[in-house]
Structure 1
């Protein structure tokens, strides 16, 4: 039958004295974590006949590094005695230590052999895991996944084989995911590789969804949503997608205090019998309610990493799609973001799966398309604008001008010191677009405002689409897009920005290091040498320092 441990352990939320360790098990059980003579345990809970546990490890020393083992019902299940990787550890945060963070988005799950690397490129996350295991890279304080960890709508051959074994793949939704069982299998494909599994067992991780976690262009417009709701399969899909996201990703994002306040988690408090620890009905109802009423839930969260504040934004569920108040963040979410966007930190990081600052040409095109889709040029042009939006994924921040203008004003206030002592940088971290770059707002005074994109981790664009992306984002698209936006009476952005570095299209994982000279960002890719597909070398694609001092230039 194999190990009773199906997935994990995954080290999730970690602070100075506590850590959360998540697992999926094959059956109802008690999961225990043991470290340096102490132990902590948790009873599993069930969702759609799958079993999970989250062990809260408490009372640790700040700045400590502690190896740990996992047992299920008293039997050791992690680490595997035959494993070639170092011991898994819990590394708590140390007061005063400046942050080192890794991030990226868009990662498909295919084999790491020659065939998989030929079609999808080398997995940059796996190349990084191997480098950390060998001591060639230090463990970061956090791994931040900015969406599309799983692709529910564009499935691999391995996923399709699982689907065919349980239903007719020629009936809707075809090769796309249908229900929770299929999502559970997709997460197994994503997180079972030994190198990545080891990395996730000893580096804390934080996550947020993007469209492919559910479906391409998820919530691009009210028209898109109504079209999906008219299908026979969408309701089951959205409920399964959000329910599985809560279990596999969101639960571990929460601090112990936030988790204790979570309405689903509260249902487990004090309950030990099997029936009362089945969250299926409650979680499905919650997921359905979140889709229908985004004001009833919150997926965004904020963490303070010593001198750095990290704000992770939900840019999918929290949208307001009503034509009169269209926004990428609804009023409730915008108010929450406003309350967390404060000065007094060395750096403020705003993590949003969609780039806030697109290349200017693409920004103008998306703003123009939103305007005509909203009726600026009449009904026929509105029909065309809606089709263009879906065909070319024109649904980033620029395509939600109300939200873009509001957040741009907030970021400027923060950078100018209107929200407390201004940070050195206000940095937007994003993915989604399948190319990476660094952009900076043109400012003479105050904090730097930058956009750092890392995408994809493993899902490169075909070469002909790379040229299309460059043409759409740069070159003639900039003046033409601006002219089109003006013709549709779109307001100018409150500031200008330019691309400092990029674009490049490699599979990448980015590292962000706060140092005395400023914020250093380094993009890494995996390179196969001498035909050794399973042990790619980690190679630097670009390295850029955003200096701490305003009178210094961005350096490479």
Structure 2
């Protein structure tokens, strides 16, 4: 059997009205061409630690058009494969003024789709979606964007296939053991995550944007200064963080960038400036860049912002941009907060903020994390601080609520926008998040201005065990809300600047969510893969929940409530 020169991709990344970016990984140094109609666009590969990549910039397209494309490597067509069973891959350019529609989710493990893995990890919601889209299922509409909100890969909780690869190249009994050690292992992990044929086809024909969360690097990444110091004392952390950020730039971040943003990117500038005959080896430059990004977080920005007609999407880094010095502790540092502040403006119909960690946790958990931060930073003295730090790392108490300075800053910015102090108030200011392994919708209790919504979709494929589901529910709701609020106040934490409550949820299924700007309001829906007839390789895609957040009626009284949720299907 002849080995294809195409390792991964093509993956459709940034797309606007007239251009598109298509990413590939190839087996060897090569010239990569994207062919559409009577035109062709080419790029040379660049190398990183023995792997070869290209990003092909496709330009001169017409707005609102659908263009089938193929991919060639060194003159030979490699995509679609000769035995392809999926529809042609296409580039769909944006239509000026069109309303936004995007699908989103987080937390997806890279395990097979057979019966055994389906029992342990459930149905891959992304793959179920891909199969339904490929089949042209009635009622499914193409999104403008697939937005992955973290944990695209798990560098610390590896599958059997990943561990087999690790064992073949080093002693897995030595640190970091079953966790990833270097770029080579990250490259293999991304291959496991993105090589399934159905998902590969979907990612070739729907634009994709991404942001990292902790497991892309390691659980609790940058939870606290104590956590960081403990990692830096190991023999393997430096290699992990360098490989994690370098591979993230190649596999995820590069494709997030618009042509204009790429032109300003320091790593891309080295690629664009290369005019030698041979392939550019980016290994040393990229490793140095990644090392500096970890050492000096303010030296680079992973966040980005895009407008879709009258809607704005802000994707905010909530991991690498942290300030961990206890005196200035913040989930997003001053520079990142200022960048976010500048982009939080009125005049849009919907202002959507995507951040991997939920901004509005269930209130019981919010108060618990605020209390934990206070005692970990010394509110109850040093002995309690040591206990608090152990609890923080053991139970992942490091969301926005555990960084009160940042929570209150973003809350104030959001309220200004919602009150119309930064231009005409949007219909909604909506936070999209993942991470917590259950899905829900919450809303801030307001009587005027924009509706402030938190929508969570997690996981795409990595369900919580039954016992942990009960534990999460107990911590988040009911009597624990009042108890954790008392704890928080006893540690000197001020009450939140506003109140919020759950609208629907939680549910714990593997899901992929969709947000759509409709005439009736902002529609949010969640769907899951369901195995029918005992065939785990061909699941159906079934709506799990849906809700429409209608515009506020002028002069209405009382806290706004979303429209009645659709029935929750089992």
**Does the alignment reach a TM-score above 0.5?**
yes
Residue 517 (structure 2) aligns with:
514
Q: Does 1:301 align with 2:309?
A: no
Residue 387 (structure 2) aligns with:
384
Contact 2:29 2:279 in 1 (8 A): no
Select which of 421, 434, 437 maps to 2:437: 434
Residue 203 (structure 1) aligns with:
206
Measured in 1, the distance between the counterparts of 2:260 and 2:227 equals: 37
Residue 124 (structure 2) aligns with:
123
1:140 partner SS: coil
Contact 1:147 1:431 in 2 (8 A): yes
Measured in 1, the distance between the counterparts of 2:100 and 2:298 equals: 32
Residue 5 (structure 2) aligns with:
4
Q: Does 1:483 align with 2:486?
A: yes
1:324 partner SS: coil
Contact 2:351 2:428 in 1 (8 A): yes
Structure 1 residue runs of 4 or more that deviate by more than 6 Å after TM superposition? none
Residue 554 (structure 1) aligns with:
562
Per-residue CA distance 1:193-218 (angstroms, 9 max, x = gap): 00000000000010000000000000
User: How do 1:50-449 and structure 2 match up within 5 A?
Assistant: 50-136=51-137, 137-273=140-276, 277-449=280-452
1:337 partner SS: helix
Contact 2:12 2:208 in 1 (8 A): yes
Which is worse superposed, 131-140 or 99-108?
Answer: 131-140
Contact 1:79 1:87 in 2 (8 A): yes
Contact 1:366 1:399 in 2 (8 A): yes
Contact 2:105 2:458 in 1 (8 A): yes
Scaled by the length of structure 2, the TM-score of the pair is: 0.97
Measured in 2, the distance between the counterparts of 1:491 and 1:259 equals: 42
Contact 1:435 1:453 in 2 (8 A): yes
> What is the CA distance between 1:269 and its match in structure 2?
2.0
CA 1:472–1:286 in 2, change beyond 3 Å: closer, same or farther?
A: same
Per-residue CA distance 1:230-265 (angstroms, 9 max, x = gap): 000000000000000000000000000000110001
Contact 1:454 1:508 in 2 (8 A): yes
Measured in 1, the distance between the counterparts of 2:212 and 2:523 equals: 26
Residue 450 (structure 1) aligns with:
453
Scaled by the length of structure 1, the TM-score of the pair is: 0.99
Measured in 2, the distance between the counterparts of 1:273 and 1:508 equals: 47
Contact 1:268 1:276 in 2 (8 A): no
Measured in 2, the distance between the counterparts of 1:262 and 1:323 equals: 31
Per-residue CA distance 1:274-324 (angstroms, 9 max, x = gap): 666111111000100000110111000000111110000111110000000
Per-residue CA distance 1:359-416 (angstroms, 9 max, x = gap): 0000000000000000000000000000000010000000000000000000000000
Query: How many residues align structurally?
Result: 556
Q: Does 1:499 align with 2:502?
A: yes
Measured in 2, the distance between the counterparts of 1:49 and 1:138 equals: 39
Contact 1:516 1:548 in 2 (8 A): no
Unaligned runs of 5+ residues in structure 2 are 566-570
Residue 44 (structure 2) aligns with:
43
Per-residue CA distance 1:83-108 (angstroms, 9 max, x = gap): 11100000000012111100000000
Residue 462 (structure 2) aligns with:
459
> What is the CA distance between 1:80 and its match in structure 2?
1.1
Per-residue CA distance 1:41-91 (angstroms, 9 max, x = gap): 101001111000000000000000000000000000000121111000000
> What is the CA distance between 1:273 and its match in structure 2?
3.0
Measured in 1, the distance between the counterparts of 2:509 and 2:275 equals: 48
